[in-house]
Amino acid sequence: MIHQGEYIRDILRGEVGKTVHAHGWVKTRRDSKGVSFVQLNDGSSFQDLQVVIEEGALPEEAMKQTTTGACVRVTGELVASPAAGQAVELKAKEILVYGGADPATYPLQKKGHTMEFLRDIAHLRTRSNTFGAVFRVRNALAHAIHNFYRERGFVYVHTPIITASDCEGAGAMFGVTTLDMMNLPRNDSGAVDYSKDFFGKPAYLTVSGQLNVEIFALSFTNVYTFGPTFRAENSNTPRHLSEFWMIEPEMAFCDLEGDMELAEAFLKYIIKYVMEACPDDLEFFNKRIDNTVLATLSQVVENNFEHVTYTEAIRLLEKSNRTWEFPVFWGADMQSEHERYLTEEVFKKPVIVTDYPKEIKAFYMRANDDGKTVRAMDVLAPRIGEIIGGSQREERYDVLLDKIRKQELNEEAYWWYLELRKYGSAPHAGFGLGFERVMLYLTGMKNIRDVIPFPRTPGSADF
């Protein structure tokens, strides 16, 4: 037996009179005089297939089991539907119950569940309207990303998930070890002897693929990586996950201007793609989750992004006469309240902030001639703040080495990164985009835990 791709999505567009087999899970069942209505969904579309069962048409035993949550196959004939919003419905002739769902205990009842409750039943929440829509959008977004880069000739690179070079500096890392915690090998000074560990040295889960992807940019010109990254920060916010997905393009022969052009074209492309691929799902988010979603998305697609330097942005924040939770001064890292003020109130559209103080940005960002700032850019978006962080990379060997030394980083660990500047260096630039941050943007969902199938956050790694 194999499901031949007769998805409910396609059945809904079928011709009246056609005989079809529909497979799916019962969302709801309503009995009225002489007839039962069953809403069937197989995840292929937001819209359910309405199955109409006339009294006595199907065996009683099967009808008893056809309750919310049950999985069934219905064979029948497509007939014109008198109900609004659907051209056809399925008049049942035969039903096969693959698996029942005891109505007394099935946790996903009709509606009114909180997001928190649904998170606790992540094995079933995927069958709800909301999470059906979320994960169809997530799928479309992943396709959009690959299409965008493929159309531009970028090479897709798989960067490693386990890394033994503690040199990314983007955030706290998870250790990876096979050492016996109850019986750790120690060296003479009492420290853990990692030479006895699996890789012969400390290893971690990656926080970013950037340094690796730079290697590929300096061979294949335009490349990107799209994979999971891990941060062991204890930041329990609606915007942070311990495991999240990141898209990181890297381009040789490219400066910060080119980087910003790509970032803007990229965001517009993926938003437009998902708007075209998932209109019903976005309509649902706009109606039930956040009624500004569609308007903001169109606004992003239709307007040019604003550009402002960090120095100018700080001036705007200082001028605002607001009381900030986090103080504003030249040299301060911008917090979410500042980012949102700039995009939501000053510019009312996405803003790219450039040329940050070197002290608050990573060592690999290209130094500006002023000696104070670096060629960094962050894209800030209304509603969520920072969505992209990028930079032109320091391609000058001496300048980079000097920075590594001044910041007292482990020079040896960066040997290959430095050699890229010694042998055939080139100007290059790139950025990182948090996949789930875009998901928040597209769906209007409030919590990042609800746009990834199985969220991992401090204290929580269920399913």
Residues that bind ligand ATP (CB under 6 A): 170-171, 231, 240-241, 244, 246, 386-389, 432-434, 436-437
Pick the closer one to ligand ATP by CB: 219 or 237. Answer: 237
**Alpha-carbon gap, residue 456 to 232, rounded angstroms:** 10
Give the CA angle between residues 211, 213, 215 to the nearest 5°. 80
Pick the closer one to ligand ATP by CB: 72 or 388. Answer: 388
In the sheet that holds 428-434, the strands lie side by side as 155-156, 222-230, 243-252, 428-434, 385-392, 373-381, 351-357, 306-309
**How many other β-carbons are positioned within 10 Å of the β-carbon of residue 106?**
15
Q: Which is nearest to 172 in space by CA: 212, 200, 206, 199?
A: 206
Closest contact distance (angstroms) between CB of 108 and ligand ATP is: 27
Pick the closer one to ligand ATP by CB: 76 or 430. Answer: 430
The amino acid at 33:
K
Pick the closer one to ligand ATP by CB: 25 or 230. Answer: 230
Closest contact distance (angstroms) between CB of 395 and ligand ATP is: 20
Residue number of the CB atom closest to ligand ATP: 434
Pick the closer one to ligand ATP by CB: 68 or 242. Answer: 242
CA distances from 461 to 123, 124, 241, 449, 454 (A): 13, 16, 11, 11, 8
Contact 121, 107 (CB under 8 A): yes
Closest contact distance (angstroms) between CB of 6 and ligand ATP is: 37
Q: Which is nearest to 85 in space by CA: 36, 128, 50?
A: 50
Closest contact distance (angstroms) between CB of 206 and ligand ATP is: 12
Closest contact distance (angstroms) between CB of 388 and ligand ATP is: 5
Pick the closer one to ligand ATP by CB: 283 or 306. Answer: 306
Phi, psi dihedrals of residue 309, rounded to the nearest 5°: -80, 160
CA distances from 41 to 26, 80, 126, 180, 210 (A): 7, 19, 11, 48, 41
Closest contact distance (angstroms) between CB of 320 and ligand ATP is: 21
Closest contact distance (angstroms) between CB of 436 and ligand ATP is: 5
Pick the closer one to ligand ATP by CB: 231 or 421. Answer: 231
Contact 26, 70 (CB under 8 A): yes
Closest contact distance (angstroms) between CB of 449 and ligand ATP is: 10
**Alpha-carbon gap, residue 347 to 332, rounded angstroms:** 21
Secondary structure, 3-state, 297-321: HHHHHHCCCEEEEHHHHHHHHHHCC
Q: Where are the beta strands (DSSP E) in 294-424?
A: 306-309, 351-357, 373-381, 385-392
Pick the closer one to ligand ATP by CB: 41 or 165. Answer: 165
The amino acid at 323:
T
Run of H or E including 256 = helix 256-277
Pick the closer one to ligand ATP by CB: 52 or 173. Answer: 173
Closest contact distance (angstroms) between CB of 438 and ligand ATP is: 8
Closest contact distance (angstroms) between CB of 197 and ligand ATP is: 26
Closest contact distance (angstroms) between CB of 170 and ligand ATP is: 4
Contact 207, 161 (CB under 8 A): no
Pick the closer one to ligand ATP by CB: 264 or 386. Answer: 386
Tokens of 246: 């990141």
Pick the closer one to ligand ATP by CB: 421 or 449. Answer: 449
